[in-house]
Structure 1
Amino acid sequence: MALITKIREKSGIAAAAIAISLILFLVGSDIFQGRSSLFGSNNQEVGVIAGESILLPEFQKKVEEATANYTAQTGKGPGEQEATMIRDQVWNQYILDIAYKKEFDALGLKVSSEELIDMVQGNNIHPSVRQQFTNPQTGQFDKTFVIQFLKNLKTMPVQQQQGWANFEKSIAQDRIRAKYENLIRLSTYVNTAEAQKEYQAQNSKFSARFLYVPFFSIPDSSIKVSDAQLEEYLAKHKDRFKGVNSRSIQYATFPVVPTAQDTVEFYNQIKKLAKDLAVAPNDSAFAMLNSDVRTPYLLAYSEIPEVVKSQLGTFQVGGIYGPFKNGLTYSIYKYGGVKKDSLFTVRASHILIAPANKSDSAKAQAKQRAESILTQIKGGASFETLAQLNGMDGTAQNGGDLGYFKNNGSMTKAFEKAIFGFNGAGLMPGVVETEFGYHIVKITDAKTNTAYRLAAINKTIAPSQATLDRVYTQADAFANANGTLGAFEAALKKDKNIIMMRADRLLENATSINNLTNAREIVRWAFDESTSIGDGSKKVFEQDNQYIVAYLTGKTDKDNVKVDDYREGITNLVRAELKGEKITAKLSAIKGSLEQIAQKYGAGALVENVSDVTLSTGMLNTAGPDAVALGKIAGLKTGKRSQVFTGDNGVFIAEKTAAVAAPALADYTTYKSQIQSMGIQRASYYINEAIKDNAKIVDKRYKFY
């Protein structure tokens, strides 16, 4: 019965897990109008999706339902970050229910009742069902738990029954989405000509000599760019500059720092807590009740802060130790000895090499590549560097670091078995195969199951109410005295101690500004239709440890792109064009060998050589991977010289000195597979973007939240 109770509690969490996976699919590339009643109009429209208007009362009702579900599952109300996530979840559910459903219906995609039963208790169990109905003793999915749960469903409270209904709806939508995505993926086709072109790009090589004059050889200050030129460039390249609704602000920040008196009172509080912790009959409970930041009572060695580890060997059972400082948080500990945990903890890094597809030949190629990398590491190469260069998952940028993890099923079974079957630390001798591919693994902290009993009280030093009131009074006085941007700038000139920050191109639904994590109120003020450029907030915005007075410095409009929206970027592009024209004119007037032309041109002209360059990975020394230049040189006949031409970052004259064509292949299957695999990987993104563009989504939530 304990298991059933646990499953009942988690049914809502499972539904949320599916919803989050759908949100990730929807968000794609952007984890990126009308008036509302809050801004002086009676319009209650939160947004428009595929022509359907979403009204505030309906949207807010769904948000409240989701919030109630979150509170029931976590035992606490959502903070600002969680509330934003809940609203995003509800919004993305609308996109699924409206925009995606139209596509699904057009193709007749459905999940039948028989299919849903099969996903929950049949032969093709949905992964989320497997996750929620796992036998804690064996760590394996147990279908009998599902059946037992469903038999008891009608006797459960209505809220839990609704939670299960939402869960079933979520996995059904996930299945329909998977069907739709798979249909699109099946349309990905690569012909022999495309494969042959890719093969040639990877294997045909050329050598060349070229004269290169980079744009940066001419000082920017010597090239004047007029507004008329910027306007002309924007008019010709409007498709390259998408409009967005954004705001730019400057703001004065008034930090609230604990005074000397605040610090004295804090230390007295810490000393008293240490004495009380020493005699507390239930030290772990006492520590939890009195901590600003709660930590577990039993900690693996890896989970103990470094500053505490350094003194852990001196701890005596029953002793009080600290305070230990970490930023503004001070911690005191009561040590209760050690305990052998039922689970082991380890820290490891890996380099994942995934096959291009599920064929035996692709797997063999991936394994061969993984073993080659392993050999390099054994020969002294840096594991972290090779992970960054070769890793095919999100850990690559961190040198393959997986952090600490336990043998509790958090990793795939084959990976976990290999890791926890290895003794000590260091590079594992062979590659590890899992369903994701082949892993080169280094154990960075050996497995251990020793846990330490540490009752910790963590207190963060904070300013007193008197200090808060004093700083707020200063900020409020500043806001009243400097109500406009002009007044603010004048105040900055008079008082060099004012802390000024700026934030450019804030988006409508932004929740943070620089290091201000809960800045939604400031963003809403900036987007209020009554706020004009040059206005000051007049009111003081409160942050965790500071007060803010804001000023609006700029706006951009999605439907009216202006030069000022992209002034710096367009200026750089126009300046590069003008530099290119200037360099080209000078080079075109000079005759002779490349060296003679470079000498006559003067400072900035370089003559360089490259050998065995390919189109797919070519580098042109100083010019780098200049795509225009690579294409131009590859297209030259051997022994011929090009005309003066402009590349991505400079101007060239090139001579092709040698070329080695890739030998013809009888079978281009490998290259077809490479291109097709890349197309399939991008399918989700392209599907998502196409559906959202077609739905013409207008998001007005920023006006209400």
Structure 2
Amino acid sequence: MAILSKIRERSMFLLIIIGLALFAFVLDPSTLGDFFNSNKVNEIGEVDGEAISRQEFANELEAYKQQTGNRVSEMQAAKTVWDNIVRKKIYANQLDEAGITIGEADVWNQVVNAQFVQTNPQYQNEAGLFDENKFKQFLADTKENNKELWAQWSGYMNQIRETSERDTYNNLVTAGLGASLKEGEQEYMIENTKLNAQFVYVPYTSIADSLVKIKKSEVEAYIKSHSDEFKVEATRDISYVKFDIVATPEDEQAIKADVASLIEDFKATENDALFLSENDSDSSINPNFQYKSSVNQEVANLIFEGNKGDVVGPYKDKGYFKISKVTEVTQMPDSVKASHILIPFMGAQSAAADVTRTEEEAKKLADSLYNVVKRRKSKFGSLAKEFSSDLGSGAKEGDLDWFNYARMTPKFRDYTFESKKGDIGVVQTPFGFHIIKIDNQKNKQKVLKLATYSRKIEASEATENAVFRSAKEFELAVSKGNDFSEVAKEKNYIAKPAVGLKSLDENVPGLGNERQIVSWAFNSDSEVGSFKSFDLEGSHVVAVVTASEAKGLMSVTKAVGRVKPILVNQKKAALLKDKLKGSDLTEIATANSISVRTASNVTLKSPTLSGVGVEPKVVGAMYNAEPNKVYNSIEGDRGVYAFKLTSKELPTALPNYDSNRKRIAESRKRLTYKIYEAIKEASAVVDNRDNMYTN
């Protein structure tokens, strides 16, 4: 009975659903199957009729995120993965149509011939040669016992397959991108034929724009007839008011007073790191020496006049109030010239693949070289050339030239700046062991170590509450049916626009990466006039949808700026054509109170008319014109023309045109990067990712 009751309660809902489905069937019978087909719900796109399922997309998206260590945003990852899936399917379809298959043997050959596989000791026999059976056994063991590593190898082999498919197709296309000698000859003739002509020119600007009326229907007709130029994605325009949560002057004074109250305790403490930690400092101990030029210049003199134990502040620096305690004072150069011999070991940073010595072996070798150069400094250069793995400096006898304090890794830096000119020592860094010789130092000066307590300048709780109330009051005023921009103006707020947001965008101009706002603007519940408040990091925002454009052709409103100048010139051309009719250029010029002009040595490669500008359509007409015949009413980019070709000077014929042919062929092959875009344009790609990310 309970079940029957539920059915009765929902009977009207079921009738509506069935009714909608039947109505759709009447309009298009094929839609009935789609309506009840759950597969459609699980698809986010198609490539030439082949579905891309949500599951396929989600799996590749997750794999890509893991591969990048989640260092890219969701939408960046989604775009890359979508592009990869589409590319893979398009190339697979093209190869299938061409009857070409990339087999397992092709992929395997590329894997086993990879340099990192061939040289890995794990896959080599006793003679140090690559053993394919050992590699096969490694892969078999990995597949069985290490799923994570096997996934990486599988991904690598799939990547090789996809790259091979792409390269194979591109190479096939490229092989056909040659050029004939006849094409070489034609190019030579076109580029070097000189045209001489007389012409009469009436610019479009001779008719005032105000005299030409353009109807909305004319703009609409132009858009439809040039639909390829005006295809647009779905977009939304929004307007928003931002309420920033920033510290008031009163907040700043309170923070400054709190920091100042710690000065005496800071002076008295013997453990500066513990003091910073226990008092919630926003900065920790800086172990490096600091030069006067590197500290806040407003207090630099005061700090560098201090002695060990002195505390300076509070002072304002980059959004913080700080107090700094001098913990160490010494003299150091601001730059050093040194040479080194680098001895890396297996596992050291940037160590080459062929480095097999252990850390102990590296230290033993470094100590041995140190003992040699300590006795005879003259041997340093030759030993650097022979033993140093730093090939750049090794070729220069270890010379690193001059460097400043910030450039080198800490232990290397500390030795070279804190020791004296002429000193030689061994230092270990993440790169290995260095035998270092200090060649020179300059500009010795006072340097300090500072312990700095920092407190970020941020709004108090009272200020945060006040900003929140302001945002809510504004939102309430808008909710009562008042115009968004008018309310903003009344309250002296600045309403900022964000125009042309796309469904998969992340960035909102003026706000940064705020995907949630874009998602809301494209939500099926959001329409023009919908508004919402958002709590962002450091601010509150109240936004309203001001315009909505569906996927398809650009609206007249948005296209009019592009289309109107074209239509205006077309109408002006129609008016001007009647003025440029006649069989004599002088007669036409006199009738229009203008003069006959001369074009000399004009070519199709440089279609510029003296005194007018670039006019490719007019020069093209001259190239194909009969000599001494008047051509009337030729529309150009800048006006309407009448002209007469007076002479056509052909270039001297060449013995052969092979160099021109080769240039054409090479230029075509350099455009192979456009192959994929051309195939994609010709493919039926349906992208419904917005359904996944905005509904």
What TM-score results when the alignment is normalised by the length of structure 2?
0.62
Which of 522, 529, 546 is the aligned partner of 2:517? 522
| CA separation of 1:307 and 1:527: change in aligned 2, threshold 3 A | same
Which string of whole-angstrom CA distances, capped at 9 and with x for unpartnered residues, describes residues 649-670 of structure 1? 3222334455432222233233
Structure 2 residue identity aligned to 1:479: E
Query: Which whole-Å deviations, capped at 9, do the CAs of 1:402-441 have from their partners, x for residues lacking one?
Result: xxxxxxxxxxxxxx989x99xxxxxxxxxxxxxxxxxxxx
Asked if 1:475 is matched to 2:471, the reply is: yes
Query: Are 2:557 and 1:564 equivalent residues in the alignment?
Result: yes
Counterparts in 2 of 1:660-671, with a 5 A limit? 660-671=649-660
SS at match of 1:666: coil
- Quickly say closer, same or farther: Cα 1:133–1:482, change in 2 above 3 A: farther
| In the alignment, structure 1 residue 47 sits paired with structure 2 residue 45 | yes
- In structure 2, the gaps of 5 or more residues are 1-30, 122-128, 341-390, 411-448
Amino acid at match of 1:472: F
Residue 250 (structure 1) shift: 2.7
Distance 2:313 2:606 in 1: 56
1:694 maps to amino acid: S
Amino acid at match of 1:249: I
Q: Go from structure 1 to structure 2 and tell me whether the alpha carbon gap of 1:646 and 1:688 turns closer, same or farther (over 3 Å shift).
A: closer
Answer whether contact 2:581 2:633 (CA < 8 A) is retained.
Answer: yes
* 1:361-372 matched pairs, under 5 angstroms: none
User: How is 1:93-172 mapped onto 2 (pairs within 5 angstroms)?
Assistant: 93-122=84-113, 125=115, 154=142, 157-172=146-161
- Tell me whether 1:184 sits opposite 2:173 in the alignment: yes
* Cα distance in 1 for residues equivalent to 2:570 and 2:195: 28
Does structure 1 conserve the Cα–Cα contact (< 8 Å) formed by 2:535 and 2:541? yes
User: 1:232 aligns to what SS in structure 2?
Assistant: helix
Counterpart contact for 2:256–2:314, Cα < 8 Å: no
Q: Name the SS for the 2:632 alignment partner.
A: coil
1:688 CA displacement = 3.2
Match of 1:432 in 2: none
CA RMSD in angstroms, aligned pairs only: 5.5
Structure 1's 44 and 156: CA in aligned 2 closer, same or farther, altered over 3 A?
A: closer
Match of residue 567 from structure 2: 574
Deviation at residue 265 of structure 1 after TM alignment? 5.7
Mapped to 2, the partners of 1:665 and 1:42 lie a distance apart of 63
CA distance 1:173–1:276, shift in 2 (3 Å): farther
User: In structure 2, how many angstroms separate the alpha carbons of the residues matched to 1:692 and 1:233?
Assistant: 23
Greater C-alpha radius of gyration: 2
Per-residue deviation at 1:631? 1.0
Whole-Å Cα distance in 2 between the matches of residues 613 and 50 of structure 1?
47
Aligned partner of 2:501 in structure 1 is 506
Report deviation, 1:647: 0.8
Task: Find the partner of 1:199 among 188, 192, 196.
Answer: 188
Per-residue CA deviation, residues 376-424 of structure 1 (Å, 9 max, x unaligned), is xxxxxxxxxxxxxxxxxxxxxxxxxxxxxxxxxxxxxxxx989x99xxx
Give the equivalent residue in structure 2 for 1:391: none
| CA deviation string 1:204-232 (max 9, x = no partner) | 22344544343345443332211232233
Letter of the structure 2 residue corresponding to residue 83 of structure 1: E
The residue aligned with 1:394 is none
**1:56-75 equivalent positions in 2, closer than 5 A:** 56-70=54-68, 73=69
Structure 1 residue 628: Cα displacement: 0.9
Match of 1:532 in 2: 527
Judge conservation of contact 2:90–2:679 (CA < 8 Å) in 1: no
Q: Distance in 2 between matches of 1:683 and 1:107?
A: 18
CA contact (8 A) 2:260 2:313 kept: no
Asked if structure 2 preserves the Cα contact closer than 8 Å seen for 1:62 and 1:90, the reply is: yes
**Distance of aligned partners of 1:57 and 1:209 in 2 relative to their CA distance in 1, 3 Å threshold:** same
Contact 1:207 1:656 in 2 (8 A): yes
Instruction: Structure 1: state its 5+ residue gaps.
Output: 1-32, 135-141, 345-415, 422-445
Tell me whether 1:646 sits opposite 2:642 in the alignment: no
CA distance in 1 between counterparts of 2:671 and 2:136 reads 39
2:166 maps to 1:174: no
Q: Distance in 1 between matches of 2:177 and 2:238?
A: 46
TM-score normalised by structure 1 residue count: 0.61
Are 1:230 and 2:219 an aligned pair?
Answer: yes
Q: 2:487 aligns with which of 481, 486, 491?
A: 491
* Contact kept? 1:298, 1:451, Cα under 8 Å: no
Counterparts of 1:633 and 1:109, CA distance in 2: 48
Give the AA of the match of 1:85. Q
CA–CA distance in 1 between the matches of 2:95 and 2:51?
Answer: 20
AA aligned to 1:90 is V
Cα distance, 1:512 vs. partner? 1.4
Task: Decide whether the 8 Å contact of 2:337 with 2:401 is kept in 1.
Answer: no
Structure 1 letter corresponding to 2:530: G
Q: Distance in 1 between matches of 2:476 and 2:253?
A: 34
3-state secondary structure, aligned to 1:547:
strand
Judged with a 3 Å threshold, the aligned counterparts in structure 2 of structure 1 residues 297 and 253 are, in CA distance, closer, same or farther, namely same
Q: What is the distance in 1 between the residues matched to 2:195 and 2:627?
A: 9
Change (3 A) 1:67 1:466: farther
Q: CA deviation at 1:522?
A: 1.9
| Pairing 1:601-616 to 2, within 5 Å after superposition | 609-616=598-605
> 1:466: how far off?
4.2
Secondary structure at 1:498's aligned position in 2? coil
1-side partners of 2:314 and 2:608: how far apart? Answer: 56
CA change 1:638–1:498 in 2 (3 A) is: farther
Matches within 5 A, 1:355-504: 449-452=403-406, 462-483=458-479, 487-492=483-488, 494-495=490-491, 497-504=492-499
Show the counterpart of 1:87. Answer: 78
Q: Counterpart in 1 of 2:351?
A: none
Q: Quote how far apart the aligned CAs of 1:491 are.
A: 2.4
SS of corresponding position for 2:545:
strand
Matched residues in 2 for 1:331 and 1:678: separation? Answer: 61
SS in 2 for 1:531: coil
Q: d(CA) in 2 for partners of 1:181 and 1:204?
A: 36
Residue of structure 1 in register with 2:15 after alignment: none
* Higher mean C-alpha deviation, range 47-56 or range 165-174: 47-56
Q: What SS is found at the alignment partner of 1:572?
A: helix
> 2:242 is matched with which residue?
253
Q: Secondary structure at the match of 1:567?
A: helix
1:633–1:692 CA distance, 2 compared to 1 (3 A): closer
Q: Is the 8 A contact 2:241 2:541 kept in 1?
A: yes
Instruction: Describe the SS at the equivalent of 1:593.
Output: helix
**Preserved CA contact (<8 Å) 2:477 2:487:** no
Matched, 1:547 2:553: no
2:471 alignment partner AA: A
- Give 1:569 deviation, angstroms: 1.6
